[in-house]
Structures are given as structure tokens and as C-alpha cells.
Structure 1
Amino acid sequence: MRMAGAIAYDIKLQHRHGFYYAYLVISLFYIMLLRLLPASSREMADVLLTFTDPSMLGFFFIGGLVLLEKGHDIHNTLFVTPYKPEEYMMSKTLSLTLLSMISSYLIHVSQFGFSTNPLLFMTGVFLTSVFFTLAGMGVAFRCRSLNGFFFLSTLVTFVFMLPIMDFLHIWSTPIYYILPTQGSFLLLRSAFEPVPWLQILYAVLLLAGWIGLAFLWVRYSFRKFIMLRLGGDGS
């Protein structure tokens, strides 16, 4: 019940700060852009644009939200309540993931409908959003300013964006197969082409594994850069 209340509060907070309006404008822009492209390019463009919703937008939106809370000293009062750090992390992650899934669904359905593999496609959106939102949160916990966040996030996102080169057939290397975004592209591609079940299993397990690592890293970052500076132990 407390988690549901926390998610509802975060949704209201995101709405108050214009996140939903921003996602709506971006989604409408993506939809118009897809309609302007040649039919032969729309499928690839749809995967790329859909990918940016849960990844780049989720990453930078959560970063901005955390830095906003730090700037207003919200954390000083938030954790004198029974609210646990893990609940804070999951509430922020799931509320933004919901927004990403709605946006991605609208972008895709507006152009192609859902004739094949909607479950796999949306699973890809969900897992990708969870991972990048956690990653953005962890980076934001370690930064004191927006400039610092953008500098550090550029380094982090550059590495995870490398599998785009494989998707675009620019450059391929086995190294991509240890990065979570390789799994993201496999699941998103399932909306347009059959993907062997072994590759689907690999993609889901890869993303789930990275999400687990990201969660542990974010929890450590939270305790070190937020709780200890507030004089708490994070328990």
C-alpha cells in the first residue's frame, strides 16, 4: 500500500513539473517524423525512436528530478519518515517507466498497430526503461550540479549506446552482446520480424541481470551520497 501511494505521489510530482506535457510533445513529434519518412525506413526509425523514449528520456528526466529534489533539500525531510530508500528508488523508477511505456505504445501503434508480438515489444520498453532510469538516478545521486550530471551521463550513455551501431549495420563486435541495449534492440525488433526464442531469453536475462546490477549500484550510491550526508545510515 505504501509503495502504491509513493508511485501515485511521484506521478503527481512528474505531472506538476511538466513531464507528461514534455512526453506528449516529444511523442507527437516522433509520430509526425515517422509519417514524413519513406515507408521503407519507418520500421528501423520506429525502433530507434521508441528506444530513445525509455532510454535517453528516462535517463535524463530522472536525473533532472533527483537534482531538483536535492536542490530543494527534499531528502532532508523525506527519510525521517518510514519511507525506505529502496521504496524511493522503485517508486521513481516505476512511475517514469509507466510514462515511457504509454509514450512508446502510442508512437508505435499510431504507425503500425500491434499485429505481432506486442508483449515482447512492450517487455523491451519496460526493461529498457527500468535499467536506464536506475542508471540515471545513480549518476544524479553522485552529482551536485546539472553540468556535472551532463558530463558524467555523457560518458555513461556513450558506452550503453554502442549497440546502435550494430543495429544500423555500421560496426559489429561480440562485445555488444554483454551490453543491455543489445537485448533492448532484439526485443524491440520483434514487432517487425520473428526473433528466435533463445535470443528472446538471452535478451530478457541480459536486461534483468543489468537491472539487478544497476539496482545494487544505485542503492550504494544513495547510501553514500545521500543518506550519509544527511547523517543517516540508510537503514
Structure 2
Amino acid sequence: MRAFFKQLVWEFKLLQKNNIINVSLAVTLIYGLLLFFLKDTENLEGLMVVIILNDPTVIGYFFVALAIYTEMKYDILSAIFVSPLKVHHYLLAKIIALSLIGTICALILAFAILGLDFNMLAFTIGCMAICLISASLGVFMLSYTDEFLKFAMRSVPVFLTLVALPLIHYFQIVDLGWLAYLVPIQSSIDLIDYGISGTPFELWYVVPATLFFVLAFYRMAYYRFSKAISLKL
């Protein structure tokens, strides 16, 4: 466990050195300004769900891939994989570090618009779960490419599906019915929506679904990373 926490601290240092933390905060500032100027809109809660869903998802999905690709480009992974560092520790530290940054950025947006008038616990769990799922999916997709540009191009339909499906259901553009239970981040959106506006959610579904998809996506990412990325080194 001590080795993992050392790696987690090191990941934060790397993210800061590569300006990923600064870029994340800059993106959050842009979203915050957008929300501020649109705070008098009729459906502010819905707009917040859209932006808060988008912000940590982008941070988790694209930035974890950018961080790993940078290490691949400069042959840092070669040294990592001949060291005693476990692949689990490496991946978990990266995913958790970016997920914490994404969650903090989402909380900044919530504090800026709502102050303390929201359920912080449900909101934080929902945002953290979205970050963990999107970061794991980013690692999974990166394992199929060797260039960040290719990764970004191939990610467009995957990323849009991840974000668009729950939003289509959330705004009742199309009622997915029971299929909504199969959407990976639907339970996380339910938690965020409850945190912002108090909309009731189905406890029997939200808690186990959130845990299941977080663990399933990480296992999927770990398997692909250990089998594909490490073979390219």
C-alpha cells in the first residue's frame, strides 16, 4: 500500500509538471464563466448536469491517455515495466489522480453556482465514478493505438456514445426505458442530479451499478493495457 501511495504522489507531480492540472483548472474556469453568464436560464440544473458531466469526463478520458502516451513517446514506460512497480499500482495511480482532479474541478463548478446548497456527498460520488469510468475507458482505447492523434479520432464515436446516451435519456429526448440501466454512467448521473436538485433515485440500482461499472471498466482497462501496451515496449 505504501508503494501505491508513493506512486500516487508521483503522479500528481507528473501531472503538475506536464501542466495537466493547470489545463484542467483552465477548462473548469471556462465552464464556470459559461455557467455564471447563463445562471438566470430556466433550466440551470439541467445545464449544470451537462457541463459537470462533460468536464470530468474529458479530464478523465483524454488526459489519462495523454499522460500515458507522453510516457510512451519518451520511453519512460520501458523503465517502468522493468522496475518492481506493479502494473496495478501504475494504472490505479494514474486513474485515481486524474479522477480526483476531475472531481475537484466539478466541485468548484458546483460551489461557484450553488454555494453549499447541494448534497455534496452524492454529487462527489457521482463525479468520481464518472471520472474513474471515463479514465479507464481512455486507457482501454489507447491500447489500440500508438499515436495520440489516432486515439483522439477513434475516440470520437466512443466518447460521444458514453456522454450522449445518458443525456438523451436525462432530458427525455428518447426514453431508453430499462435500457438506461445498462448505460455505464447512468447511475452516476442519477447521483449528480440528486446532489444538485434532489431528484429521487433508485437506491437498489444506483449503488450496485456504480460499483459494478467502475470495477468492470478498470478490469477491462487493466487487461488491455497489460496485454497490449506492455507488448509494444
- Tell whether the structures are fold-level matches, with TM greater than 0.5: yes
Q: Specify the alignment match of 2:169 in structure 1.
A: 166
Q: Specify the alignment match of 1:27 in structure 2.
A: 28
Q: 1:209 aligns with which of 205, 209, 212?
A: 212
* TM-score with structure 1 setting the length: 0.91
Kindly report which structure 2 residues correspond to 1:75-114, keeping only aligned pairs within 5 A, or say none: 75-114=77-116
Shift of 1:201: 4.2
Number of residue-to-residue matches in the alignment: 229
Unaligned segments of structure 1, at least 5 residues? 231-235
Q: Specify the alignment match of 2:156 in structure 1.
A: 154
Kindly report which structure 2 residues correspond to 1:133-148, keeping only aligned pairs within 5 A, or say none: 133-148=135-150
Q: Specify the alignment match of 2:221 in structure 1.
A: 218
Contact 1:165 1:171 in 2 (8 A): yes
Aligned equivalents of 1:51, 1:144: Cα separation in 2: 28
Aligned equivalents of 1:143, 1:182: Cα separation in 2: 28
Matched, 1:10 2:22: no
Query: Secondary structure of 1:180's partner?
Result: coil
Shift of 1:200: 3.7
Contact 1:186 1:200 in 2 (8 A): no
Aligned equivalents of 2:64, 2:95: Cα separation in 1: 8
Letter in 2 for 1:90: L
Aligned equivalents of 1:62, 1:201: Cα separation in 2: 31
Q: CA RMSD in A?
A: 1.6
Q: Specify the alignment match of 1:233 in structure 2.
A: none
**Per-residue Cα deviation, 1:45-90 (whole angstroms, up to 9, x for no partner):** 1111111122122101111111111111111111211100011110
The farther-off stretch of 163-172 and 98-107 is 163-172
Q: 2:182 aligns with which of 174, 178, 185?
A: 178
* TM-score with structure 2 setting the length: 0.92
Aligned equivalents of 2:4, 2:74: Cα separation in 1: 23
Q: 2:195 aligns with which of 191, 194, 198?
A: 191
**Per-residue Cα deviation, 1:93-140 (whole angstroms, up to 9, x for no partner):** 111011111111111101102323210010001111111111101111
Query: Secondary structure of 1:116's partner?
Result: coil
Q: Specify the alignment match of 2:66 in structure 1.
A: 64
Contact 2:45 2:197 in 1 (8 A): no
The farther-off stretch of 163-172 and 121-130 is 163-172
Unaligned segments of structure 2, at least 5 residues? none
